[in-house]
Amino acid sequence: MQNSNRKRILVVGAGGFIGSHLAKHLREQGHYVRVADIKWDGYIEERYWDNKFTLDLRNLHNCLKAIEGMDWVFQLAANMGGIGYITSHFADVVYDNALINLNMLQAATDTRVERYFFSSSACVYPNYKQTVSDVRGLKEEDAMPADPNEPYGWEKLFSEIAVEAYHHDYGLNTRIARYHNIYGPEGTWDGGKEKAPAALCRKVARAEDGNTIEIWGDGKATRSYCYIDDCVEGTVRLMESDYTKPLNIGSDKLISVDALADMIIVISGKRIGKKHNLTAPEGVRGRNADLSLVKQVLGWEPEMSLEEGMCITYRWIEKQVKELG
């Protein structure tokens, strides 16, 4: 990267999975990277920041402190987790995330940053378009009329509207990505906030040969999954672009939960059976991303195959499980 292109960049939520990988990538590209979060998962071993703040971003003063002197802001901070977490922590998720997002928008406006990125979610899409396993890809325009599946999705949709309001009223130069099931190594894999790919990898890694693992739901629900490196590339391209409306960042390769579990079992080399817990939460019946717009606007689409990405992810989680004993 040429020195003339070097930015002073803030990544908030950099203690988490996507934020830490994004900050690491941006620093490797030669930018000055400040990171901020309320806690740090510690999975990436090497230093990935130039300046580090441990702050509660529900407080406006802390947001102003974090943003001071920055050119670009990537806002990925959120109270969130997998389907088990976001379907059992409604109030905390809405309260924390609304405060973080509104405070960050106000702080970015007050300090007149050059560009502001908000990480939204495929959870903004309505229930009535996700009722069957063989679901068509969701286009960005499908978010309205609104009917997200849980309060986390409603909060993300509200925050998108808030971002657009600050863009409209105050000229804040904004970008919005709707992430679809981002996975990979060096992320949460245990403790209740992990998502399906990591949870399945952990279950298989811990299972003895010949045992069974529990699958939430009947295994026929479907999703698409995007590898972390592809997600980071799409995110940076969006920030560098002039596009200000929401864009899907994900994969359009649909797979059932059962098929994903089978893939991981094959990767493990074990003989493992599956049992289904029909009382566990499983979210919408099917969700897939339509990538037509992001291909047109950014020339981006994911490159990592699910098989290769899951192999990398499983080996990393298997290593964590073995190290813990």
Closest by CA to 22, choosing from 236, 192, 195, 174, is 236
Q: Could you tell me if 228 and 183 are in contact, meaning their C-beta atoms sit under 8 angstroms apart?
A: yes
Neighbour tally for 51: CB within 10 Å: 14
Residues assigned a catalytic role: 152
First to last CA, the chain: 43
Spell out the residues 6+ positions from residue 65 whose beta carbon is closer than 8 angstroms to its own.
53, 55
CA distance 193 to 236: 26
Q: Could you tell me if 235 and 250 are in contact, meaning their C-beta atoms sit under 8 angstroms apart?
A: no
Q: How many CA atoms lie within 13 A of 307 on its CB side?
A: 2
